[in-house]
Chain A
Amino acid sequence: MRLGFIVERLLQLIPVLIGISLVVFLMMTLTPGDPVEIMLGDQLATAEQKESLRRDMGLDLPAAERFIRFVRNSLSGDFGRSFFHRRPVAEVIAERLPATIELTIVAMLIALAVAIPLGVLAAVRRGSLIDKAATVISLIGVSMPGFWLGIMLILLFAVHLGWMPVSGRIDYAFEVPRITGMILFDSLVQGRYAAFLNALHHILMPAVTLGLAMAALLMRVTRTSMIEVLQQDYIVFAEAKGLSRARVLVRHALKNALIPTVTVAALETGYLLGGNTIVEMVFGWPGLARVIVEGIYSRDFPLVQAGVLVIAVIYVTVNFAADVLYTLLNPRVKL
């Protein structure tokens, strides 16, 4: 991989992020609804008190100046103060982001763990009962709304069977000193295995809910691309060489068939980060998506701007990582 490529991609990030900031800023500024009025609600406040709150929030400045300040301060990691949480936005995001990333990673792992074997199996036994069953299951997976699936899982596994917790990240009895804020990771590296298992127990239902729809999609992609690859000459050649079936499938076919899967998985990270909102609501998962949605309703401009910006950075980074992964999967891909 060329160093130039990395630099080029990083440079491309700058206009993308400024563009995103501008769009979010404009959307929030142009949407009717005054944060001061929302905050004070029905209650008594004089015009001077409202004005003072407006000054505190920086809303007395012209929109253009607010935007320039936001961009300038963001560069130094200062996203301003949240109107409603009444403390630095960076603090609110730092608290919530690890939960969202953790859920996204686990959901993605579940999706891949389900999708790749099923996709390969369906491709290899194309037209068989397994293939048809996988098609039907993936159709159901794609069409099932996340909130419905989540609630059904809660009713079955938490209320009726009592196996799983309804909400939260870990039981109160466990304390995991923060390293990254991702409890699974933190507990594992500190050797707190009971806490790790408890956190895993909590994350399963939300991650399955989030991962299942993606698993269905990824399975379809893997299946299609696997079928295509299996018909290539080099597979026939590999088999003719006398390589074992397993080696042909995994080393030769799957490795190449995974490129579209990786692309879709990377693109879908955006869906997962956004789709988190519903899952975070249903399972009381204390993530960033939920706090951004609450911020939208309360017109918490600094929080929404910074939150969306952070998600955008993650999205762009993941897609960059996917590009790098192509080169590993297929050395012929040159970046």
Chain B
Amino acid sequence: MAMTTGADESTAAGLRELLKTARLLLLVCGIAIVAGVATGAEVRVGFTQDALTLDPANHRKRETETIIRNIYDGIMTQTSKSEVVPELAESVRQIDSLTYEATLRKGVKFHSGDEMTAEDVKFTFDRLTREKAMGGQTSPRQGLLGPLASTEAVDRYTVRFKLKEPWPVFPRMLPVQEIVSKKFVEKVGSDALATQANGTGPFKLVEWRRGDSIIMERFADYYGGAPAIPPTGAARVDRVIFKIIPENASRMAALMAGEVDIVNEVPVFAINTLERSGKAKVVKANGTRTFFIALNVTRPPFSDVRVRQAANHAVDKKLVIDRLLGNTATPVAGVLSPESFGSKPGLKEYAYDPNRAKKLLAEAGYAKGIDVTLDAEGAFKDQAEAIAAMLTKVGIRTKVQVWEGAVLTPIWRAEKKERDMYFNSWGSGALDPTGIFVPTLKTRDRGNTSGYSNAKVDKLLTAADTELDRNKRADMYHQAEKIVAEEAPWIFLWVPQDIYAVSNRLRGWAPGSDSRINLHRAYLAK
């Protein structure tokens, strides 16, 4: 101890040397704070995920599509009300049940300056559908074009698509396929498209700083975009930047700090804070994903329709939507989103009625109640817990088990179903029943997690898949949905909205149900 007393002065002298580094660091920080950077007319988006690739044919990711769609255009596009309208095409018409013909706009330029022609469209679709057409790899988007057999360039501006079998959804799938330049791909090689881009879209790629940001600038020779979505013309801002900020709180903070003008995936708990800040507005669009609880109909207790109906009567959906989802979801009585083609208004909904639920349960022979497990992914734990508590109240004593999605999905998609209930969802960006009704409820289809099988429903769904008369087709879905609602293989829940927030100065952009952020018409108020 003698060493530490009476030596203050010399100790300080010793420490001075050591503190030099720290002081230098602080000084440099001070300078760094002043080194701000001026920004031009640019819109920045705080976005959850980086693009996996910039090659439009080499991914299956919505977020990647959202980014790419500002650089590349498609033959068709989708309005914020989910209508499919021509973009690079002047028109797309059906010639017969197996043939569609697209007439292309003239004078559309790629960012390289070359004109887009039917050859580019043919090349794009061949690359998507032919085996090993992408430098030895097959496009993972091949399945999105269903039975497309061949694409032919009839003349410089006409393309003909031949299908193997009738497929009325074909035009709906065109907005998610972007046109690449044949000349460019042949020059740089298929692999290079992962990082280089030459599209016909409103913005040119400037730089992709992986994991950090994607920087694009206005393409002055842009043909103007879809006439059905005015205003047309070149983009209104000089530059667009997608800044990747995966963490919710940080993304919201970036909006509040004025670093970005749009953020996606606003968590429900942040809505009030953002709105009260006076710095941002929360904007929503109806989503395309139906949430439901799949009930395993292949074994007791849910093999009994009365138990399934009891479960539907036991859940107070409105309460969950109000308390846990901040009123950002629409309850559904059946499978389809109210905005989907073929959805029928007035489909009878199971009212919240715990007494009726108990009665049905007793009628099924379970007066003393049942013990079941509800499987859910971590992200939906609170919603699953709330529903489990409601079910438990009527005698369906439910325990929630949380899993990782990659583990849970294959368990429930396996042919043999061995568990009870699954908090599940299914999305169909095209808002057509074929993308949601068929996979989840047709016998043994890929997403039929409840194990449901009804010959009449199967027949209706199969017929509707190839029916070209829209009214007849819609009617088939109505009939099928009515049967499903009565047989209740699911607890029908809700369709959540996609929630975004924008800065007060952002104009010219509204979210759509396809979760795209197309910035062609966006600008900043002065």
Given contacts A56-B138, A151-B249, A167-B243, contact A120 B15 (CB under 8 A): yes
9-residue interface stretch from B28-36, B83-91, B291-299, B308-316: B28-36
Select B407's contact among A33, A175, A298, beta carbons within 8 Å.
A33
Complex: how many Å from CA A236 to CA B4? 11
Interface of A is mostly: helix
Query: B15 and A159: CB pair below 8 A?
Result: no
Query: B35 and A44: CB pair below 8 A?
Result: no
Q: Is B275 an interface residue (CB 8 A)?
A: no
Q: Closest CB-CB distance, B93 to chain A, in whole Å? A: 24
Given contacts A154-B249, A198-B35, contact A86 B55 (CB under 8 A): yes
Q: Is A274 an interface residue (CB 8 A)?
A: no
Q: Is A77 an interface residue (CB 8 A)?
A: no
Select B37's contact among A198, A231, A254, beta carbons within 8 Å.
A198
Q: Is B415 an interface residue (CB 8 A)?
A: no
Q: Closest CB-CB distance, A89 to chain B, in whole Å? A: 13
Query: B13 and A172: CB pair below 8 A?
Result: no
Residues of B within 8 A of A168 (CB): 212-213, 243
Select B3's contact among A171, A239, A250, A290, beta carbons within 8 Å.
A239
| Residues from 1 to 29 in B contacting A, C-beta threshold 8 Å | 1, 3-4, 7, 9-11, 13-19, 21-22, 25, 28-29
Interface string of A88-124 (1 = CB under 8 A from B): 0000100110010000000001100110110011001
Closest B residue to A44 by CB, please name it: B143
Given contacts A42-B427, A44-B143, A284-B245, contact A87 B191 (CB under 8 A): yes
Q: Closest CB-CB distance, A103 to chain B, in whole Å? A: 12
Q: How large is the interface on A (under 10, 10 to 19, 20 to 34, 35 or more residues)?
A: 35 or more
| Residues from 119 to 172 in A contacting B, C-beta threshold 8 Å | 120-121, 124-126, 147, 150-151, 154-155, 158-159, 162-169, 171-172
Pull 7 A–B residue pairs with CB atoms less than 8 Å apart, ordered by A. A33-B404, A87-B191, A109-B21, A154-B249, A245-B9, A245-B11, A284-B246
Residues of A within 8 A of B (CB): 31-34, 37-46, 49, 52-53, 56, 84-87, 92, 95-96, 99, 109-110, 113-114, 116-117, 120-121, 124-126, 147, 150-151, 154-155, 158-159, 162-169, 171-175, 194, 197-198, 200-201, 204, 230-231, 235-236, 239, 244-250, 254, 281-284, 286-287, 290-291, 297-299
Extra A-B contacts (11), CB below 8 Å, given A117-B15, A246-B16: A34-B406, A56-B137, A95-B210, A95-B211, A113-B21, A169-B212, A172-B241, A198-B37, A231-B3, A282-B250, A286-B212
Q: Give 4 closest A-B pairs by Cβ, nearest first.
A: A245-B10, A286-B211, A33-B406, A246-B14
Residues of B within 8 A of A (CB): 1, 3-4, 7, 9-11, 13-19, 21-22, 25, 28-29, 31-33, 35, 37-39, 50, 52-53, 55, 58-61, 131, 137-138, 140, 142-144, 146, 191, 194, 207, 209-213, 215, 241, 243-247, 249-250, 253-254, 256-259, 404, 406-407, 409-411, 413, 426-427, 435, 439, 446-447
